[in-house]
Amino acid sequence: MLYAVIMAGGSGTRFWPASRTLRPKQLLALSGQRTMIQSTSDRLSGLVPAERQLIVTNKILVDPIAEQLPEHPKENLIGEPAKRDTAPCIALAAALIAHQDPEAIMAVMPSDHVIATDEQFCGAIAAGERLVMEDPSRIVTFGIRPTYPAESFGYIQRGPKIEAGGDVDGGTEIKAFQVDQFREKPDRETATQYLESGDFYWNSGIFLWRASVILDAIKTNQPAMYSHIEKIAAAIGSPDYETVLEEEFCAIEGTSIDYAVMESYANVAVIEAPFSWDDVGSWQSLGRLHEADADGNTVVGDHLGIDTSGSIIFGQPGHTIVTIGVEDLIVVQTGDATLVAPKSAEERVREAVKRLKETGRTDCL
């Protein structure tokens, strides 16, 4: 049976001041009326019902997520006692799913990506499920056809074509390939070579596999991590489960699933995503998600611009933002904090968050 794991533990500091400790990026509505985690769950609803969706997040976010996803059983909201990157997150989810269904197939995805259309996405997931059912040892990932030489994404180099079968969206062929290798984030020159070759995809961070297979791969490649997960799995359903989870999970040395498994696993297929995808990594991402005005401004909220161009404006309802004689700015207004920065300095938003933390301004975080 197919299960879904939605990873929702990120802090989203690049989206400060809208993103906060108890309201990170995945709990914000950045591209529509629904928040990002709601949209992710909605996207799956025709394929994986809420009772088979696991949300893995920071334990302090369990209650805020429960408020946004009231249809999900509370026991499906898994609170990690510590932040340990994607491999421990996935291993914990796999152990919980395998305990319930030893033959389960699980689709794993971040909670904070913008994807369209839902039908194309579900069609691709269904194709991945078929590939895993054909070869239970196979791991499937999803690659995004690059549109520019991005330096901020990992890349997947494709190999020979695999017959995936089926199509989506009225006849679009599902294209699948054996993975040749995974590549780390490249420099500009290398990324340009990847783009020009036509054999590389951006790594979407979306995966599909049997729960038992990913656990075996972690056992082989990360035996110390697996030892802690095994103890947690043994305690499932016992009165000591929460105590064991706290002790053993916190003892894990965190690492990414790419490093832990994907880069060394031999039998990996990549499906060329038939859906559009955006990882919404920073405030400038809003320029791709919302139509700009005649002056090239992307506006979410109430804005009056005079001689204003090329800017990102994000404000709360009932608050008017006025800009005069500016260009290429990011302006974000919330109830208790405002950000004003040139687009070229948006990477320094995390620096601002760090500085606020160091100076004890937790009221702004």
**Interval 208-229: pLDDT, tens:** 999 999 999 999 999 999 999 9
The pair phi, psi for residue 59, each rounded to 5°, is -60, -25
Per-residue confidence (pLDDT) for residue 164, from 0 to 100: 73
Per-residue confidence (pLDDT) for residue 3, from 0 to 100: 98
Per-residue confidence (pLDDT) for residue 165, from 0 to 100: 67
Q: Which two tokens stand for residue 316?
A: 């709360």
DSSP assignments along 323-359, one per residue: EEEEESEEEEE-SS-EEEEEGGGGGGHHHHHHHHHHT
Per-residue confidence (pLDDT) for residue 258, from 0 to 100: 94
Is it the case that residue 145 has pLDDT exceeding 90? yes
Domain housing 37:
2-278
**Are 151 and 186 contacting, i.e. CB atoms less than 8 angstroms apart?**
yes
User: 255 and 355 share a domain?
Assistant: no
Check the CA dihedral 356-358-359-362 and report its sign.
positive
Q: How confident is the model at residue 173 (pLDDT cuts 50, 70, 90)?
A: confident
User: 242 and 264 share a domain?
Assistant: yes
pLDDT: is 170 or 359 the higher one?
Answer: 359
User: 258 and 318 share a domain?
Assistant: no
Last residue of a domain, one of 262, 278, 294: 278
Per-residue confidence (pLDDT) for residue 166, from 0 to 100: 64
User: 27 and 57 share a domain?
Assistant: yes
Question: 209 forms bridges with which residues in the sheet?
Answer: 106
User: 321 and 198 share a domain?
Assistant: no
Question: What pTM was computed for the model?
Answer: 0.95
Last residue of a domain, one of 242, 262, 278: 278
User: 154 and 248 share a domain?
Assistant: yes
Per-residue confidence (pLDDT) for residue 119, from 0 to 100: 93
pLDDT in tens, 1-33: 999 999 999 888 999 999 999 999 999 999 889
Helix axes 118-134, 36-44, angle to 10 degrees: 60
pLDDT in tens, 111-131: 999 999 999 999 999 999 999
Q: What's the mean pLDDT when you consider all of the chain?
A: 95
The pair phi, psi for residue 154, each rounded to 5°, is -75, 160
Last residue of a domain, one of 225, 248, 278: 278
Percent above pLDDT 90 for the chain = 94
User: 287 and 261 share a domain?
Assistant: no
User: 321 and 232 share a domain?
Assistant: no
Q: Can you give the CATH number for the domain in which 186 is found?
A: 3.90.550.10
User: 170 and 318 share a domain?
Assistant: no
User: 140 and 186 share a domain?
Assistant: yes
Taking the C-alpha atoms of residue 150 and residue 138, their distance in angstroms, rounded to an integer, is: 28
User: 90 and 191 share a domain?
Assistant: yes
User: 206 and 321 share a domain?
Assistant: no
Q: How confident is the model at residue 171 (pLDDT cuts 50, 70, 90)?
A: low
Query: 187: alpha, beta or left, given left = phi > 0 and alpha = psi -120 to 50?
Result: beta
Per-residue confidence (pLDDT) for residue 57, from 0 to 100: 98
Per-residue confidence (pLDDT) for residue 32, from 0 to 100: 85
Question: Three-state SS string across 275-317, please?
Answer: CEEECCCCHHHHHHHCCCCCCCCEEECEEEEEEEECCEEECCC
Taking the C-alpha atoms of residue 304 and residue 268, their distance in angstroms, rounded to an integer, is: 51
Per-residue confidence (pLDDT) for residue 170, from 0 to 100: 56
**Are 83 and 58 contacting, i.e. CB atoms less than 8 angstroms apart?**
yes
Cα 333 to chain center, whole Å?
A: 25
**Are 346 and 283 contacting, i.e. CB atoms less than 8 angstroms apart?**
yes
Taking the C-alpha atoms of residue 18 and residue 164, their distance in angstroms, rounded to an integer, is: 41
Number of domains composing the chain: 2
- Residue 63's contacts (CB-CB under 8 Å, 6 or more residues apart) are none
pLDDT in tens, 49-96: 999 999 999 999 999 999 999 999 999 999 999 999 999 999 999 999
Taking the C-alpha atoms of residue 327 and residue 309, their distance in angstroms, rounded to an integer, is: 5
Burial class (CB in 10 A: 0-12, 13-18, 19+), 234: middle
Tell how strand 329-333 and strand 312-314 pair up: parallel
Is it the case that residue 186 has pLDDT exceeding 90? yes
DSSP summary character for residue 31: S
